[in-house]
Each structure stands twice: as C-alpha cells, then as structure tokens.
Amino acid sequence: MKLKYQILATCCILLISSCYKDQGNYIYKVPEEININGIEASYNKVSLVDKITINPTVTSTDPDAKFSYWWGIYETNVQGSAPKVDTIGRTKALDYLVTQPAKGWVLVFGAKNEHTGLSKIMTSNINVVTQFTRGWYIMKNDGGKTDVDLFLTPSAITPGSRMENVFSLVNGKKLDGEANLFGFYTNYKSNVTGAYANTRALFILSDKDASVVNINTFKEIHSINNLFYETPSVNKPGSISESSQANYFVNNGRLHSIYSMSANVGLFGGQQLRDDNNSPYNLSRYFLAYPFDNPFFFDETSTSFVSATGTGSVLSAVTDVSGTEMPANRNNKTLLFMGVKSTNPYVGIALFQDKTDPSLKILSTITPSNYALKMVNDTLAPTDKLYQAERFGLIVADENILYFSAGQEVWSRNLSNGAEQLQFTAPAGEKITCIRHRKYTGGTATEQAFYYNYMLIGTTGGGNYKVRAFQKTSGNLATAPDFTMEGKGSAGDVIYIAPPINNYTYPNSY
C-alpha cells in the first residue's frame, strides 16, 4: 500500500513540472562606458606664468548621463607619506594658473555620472618649471656691484627677451665687487622645500662676495656670511668647484669643503690646513676639478700643487709622475691660467711665468694620476700671441685648442702644433672681458631645439656689455655670431640653464 502512495506522489510531481512555464528575464544590460578625450599625456608649464587650459570631451553610453567633474593636482616623488591631492577645479573646463614650485606633478581629472554613480579618472604629468629654470644667465658688474641678467629661451636656444638684474630683483640687493665665476650643482643640500635635500643651486662669485641661489626661484639660500660654519674674516672668493664627491670653495686663498655623499646642511667646513705644521698657504683662483677624480689647486706661497678630499682637514700632497718636465712642488712659477681641457682622459692646461726670469713663460699640458701630476712643457717665444694673452677660454672635450685675447683680438692656439690664428676682433671702443666655451647636447628629444656648442665672447664698451655666441668648425669661429646678448655693465661669466642640466653638464673650469 505504501508503495502505491509513493508512485502516486512521483506522478504528481512530474505532472506539475510539465505544466510549469519559465518566466525568467535573460536580457542582460551592457555595462556603462565613459570616454574622456582632450587631455594630453604630459604638459610643460612655467610657474606663475602659464595656465593649464583644458576643456575635455566626456561621453557615456548611458543616454541619461548627467556628469559632475573635479580637477586635482599632487606632487610626485613624495617619500614617507601618501601624496596629497589638492582640488583645483569643479567644472569640466579648467583654466588654472600654475603656482606650484618647479618639479614634477600629476594632474587628475574625474568625471562622475550622477545617474549611475559610475566614475572615471584620468591623469597627466605636469612638468612645472619657473621663468628662472631655462635661459642664458650673464653675470655682470656695474659700478663696483655684481648682478645677473637672464635671457629667456622659451622655444629655442636663441634668446627671446631679457630680464634685467634678476638677483637684486628677487633678493633686494646686489653683490659687492666684480663678476667672477658661476657654478651650477644639483647635489647641493638645502632645506628650501622644508627638509634638507639635493637642490638645483647656482653659485654666483664676485671677487668680493658670493651667493648661492635656488635656481627654481632665484632666492638666495646662503650669502657668503652664512655659507660657512665659521663666518670668514675676509670675503675674497676665488673659486667654487666639485671633485671627488665634494664641493670645494676657495676664499681668501684657503680651501673649504662639503662632502656631498653624506648628510649635510649646505655649509662649508673650516679651512683645511696646508700640512700638519699648519704652514701658510694661498691658493690661486685657478683649479683643476672633475667630479669623479681628485681636485688640484696651486699654492702661490710655496709655488706647489696640492690636492684635497671632501672629508679631510689637511690638504693632500702632490708628487711627480715619471717623465714630468716640471716638478709639482716648489717649481718657482706664477700660475697665469689653468683649466680643464678634457675629463676623459682627465687633462688640464696651465700657463706659467717664471719668478726668477719673468720673460720665461711656459704652456704646460697636465695629466693627473691619483695624487700625482705629469706636466709636458711648451716654452713660449715672445713673438707668440699667447705670450701677450690676457683672457683665456679652453674648448672642453672638443678640439685641442686654447682661445685667448690679446688687446682687441681673440686668437686660437692649436695645442697639438702651436699654430695660432686670429678668430675675432672686437669693434672699436669695446674691451674683451670674458671668453667661455659652453656646450649642451643632453636631455630628451624635446630638448633638441636647445642644443648648442658655442664659444661665447664678452665685451664691454660705453657702460654696456655684449656677449656674442659663435659656432665653431674645426676650432675656427664663424664669421658672425648666431646671436648677441646685450645689457648694462661688464660681463664676467655666462652659463645656460635648462631643466635637464646637472652638475655634470659643464666641467668646472675658468
């Protein structure tokens, strides 16, 4: 009987199942898609000058879409904390004046469909520079004071406009003395961002004063009075250089250093001793320096070469390499000029005058080897134009040529064979004040418009300077400069700065 009921129950279930109709909805909705167009992958902007102006196109597959928008910006390379996004707009179109300091930033755009709640975010890299981070800087003196002019190069290496006296404009003062030497370093430590870190810093040296400025703002980081742990009793800058992972500053003939590979606060230490006996010494303003090798200075008191380390307190002795034609120690010479000829191999050029016989002038090729020097001499004849040289400008790493001025003329001397050739004659009424070789061929493809290789010749006349930028072919200057930069005063040095330029771009040298 029980079996009959089981069979009946099973038949009922099958009957009910056969009568059931599937009422399910199997039509699936396509997910919404939001598209954003009109935002580039990257932008280059000048802080306090340029605006970010973007009006993107935002579409959705939702026919009832209604969007809200927001824009934000945050700093890249933030260490120790999550980046903070600052909101800079809440409309689709952005018209924002860039006020951020020069560095890398990320621009963020968000669009939200209020109908569905779906959002989409896009980012773009913003390379923020300032009006001070690209252009030709000319250090000039006028009336016993030194200042700096900036020639802006917004789209190519040829200057478009001039900003006069940018140092005093930003800092409210000029430097005392006559313009002398620039030095640019990207590993100099300062706390301009709130913590001690590498800073793109430009050193400005006159013969009586010095300053180091943040190239992003041109604000002074340190004056000569607070650039050292101990304020110097005499302000007489000679040189700023980098070598063996340290920065070296010669003031009043004494050497001070900062070891850049360890934590520091951007202040130079006490003067290094000449030797363990604290013998007197007085370093020339001329030097040989290369970031990856030892520096060399010339002690005018003992007429000897010395070297140094960034962590030492005593100058290092220099010895002779076998075959040298001039001793490194007590050679009884006056150093008239010395500069770096090439960094690979490390070679320098120096011009000496004998103390006993001042009519004897010697041109030497110097090859350093650790803490030793080999010098190969070329004795000048009184008839050589180099014998009357006043200003000097070595071509670094290109042709084996030394440029120099004699009166109104600029000559070249082939260092391989001694041949001399007239290259430029300054117009009547102009005096030659500086000769400088500068070369920049680095950076990304977008930098190619700014690549150059120039001999720069500065002259002064009638209270105004001119700096002519000459191309050269096989060491010979073009008949006319590519362009001429002009301003008030007398030019002492010139340097080109761009965002990719670092402390390896220009070898340290006069």
Q: Which domains does the chain have, with CATH numbers?
A: 34-129 (2.60.40.10)
Helix (H, G, I), strand (E, B) or coil at 102: coil
pLDDT of 453 > 70? The answer is yes
Lowest pLDDT segment from 3-17, 247-261, 346-360, 409-423: 3-17
Mean pLDDT, the chain, rounded, equals 92
pLDDT of 4 > 70? The answer is no
- For residues 47 and 429, the model is more confident at 429
What type of residue is 180?
Answer: N
- Measured CA to CA, the distance from residue 131 to residue 498 in angstroms comes to 10
Mean pLDDT of all residues in 193-199? 86
CA distances from 182 to 270, 391, 436 (A): 22, 16, 11
Enumerate residues 6+ apart whose C-beta is below 8 A from 463.
Answer: 142, 488, 489
Q: What is the pLDDT of residue 418?
A: 97
- The angle formed by the CA atoms of residues 290, 291 and 295, to the nearest 5 degrees, is 50
Q: What is the pLDDT of residue 49?
A: 78
pLDDT of 92 > 60? The answer is yes
pLDDT tier at 1 (50, 70, 90 boundaries)?
A: very low
Q: Give the predicted TM-score (pTM) of the model.
A: 0.81
pLDDT tier at 213 (50, 70, 90 boundaries)?
A: very high
Per residue in 309-323, pLDDT tens? 999 999 999 999 999
Q: What is the pLDDT of residue 23?
A: 55
- Measured CA to CA, the distance from residue 50 to residue 126 in angstroms comes to 12
Mean pLDDT of all residues in 378-394? 97
pLDDT of 397 > 60? The answer is yes
Per residue in 284-302, pLDDT tens? 999 999 888 999 999 999 9
pLDDT of 16 > 90? The answer is no
- Measured CA to CA, the distance from residue 214 to residue 133 in angstroms comes to 10
Q: What is the pLDDT of residue 284?
A: 98
- For residues 44 and 300, the model is more confident at 300
pLDDT of 379 > 70? The answer is yes
Q: What is the pLDDT of residue 20?
A: 46
In the DSSP assignment, the letter for residue 273 is: B
Percent of the chain with pLDDT over 70: 93
pLDDT of 9 > 50? The answer is no
Per residue in 497-507, pLDDT tens? 998 999 899 98
Radius of gyration of the chain (CA): 33
pLDDT of 80 > 60? The answer is no
Per residue in 259-275, pLDDT tens? 988 889 999 999 999 99
Q: What is the pLDDT of residue 15?
A: 46
What type of residue is 479?
Answer: T
CA torsion sign for 186, 187, 191, 193 is positive
pLDDT tier at 130 (50, 70, 90 boundaries)?
A: confident
pLDDT tier at 25 (50, 70, 90 boundaries)?
A: low
